[in-house]
Amino acid sequence: MTTSEEFEAILDVFTTDGWKYILEDTINRKKAIDNVYDVQTVEELHRRKGEIETLDWIISLKEWYQTSQELYEAQNDL
């Protein structure tokens, strides 16, 4: 499998109903924890920050792969 085919296979995942449900759940989870009012300790704050960063990463995966594919193709004149 070529790199271009790998990108296509990965990007196909983002068109499924399953991905849409996962993304919706991820966005809802982020909204539920996107404040610090109930954080009691520094440790909780760091854990919350890490969780939000992870959720942001998941939410942006499609765009990340699209951009990576575009850069790869531009570098390789595909």
Could you tell me the residue ranges of all domains in the chain? 3-75
Region 49-73 average pLDDT: 96
Region 59-66 average pLDDT: 96
Q: What is the pTM of this model?
A: 0.83
Q: Is the pLDDT reported for residue 78 higher than 80?
A: no
CA 8 to chain centre: 17
Q: What is the dihedral of CA 42, 28, 54, 3, to 10 degrees?
A: 180
The residues, ordered by sequence, that sit 6+ positions from 3 with a Cβ below 8 Å of its Cβ are: 72
SS3 51: helix
Model pLDDT for residues 18-58, shown as the tens digit of each residue: 999 999 999 999 999 999 899 999 999 999 999 999 999 99
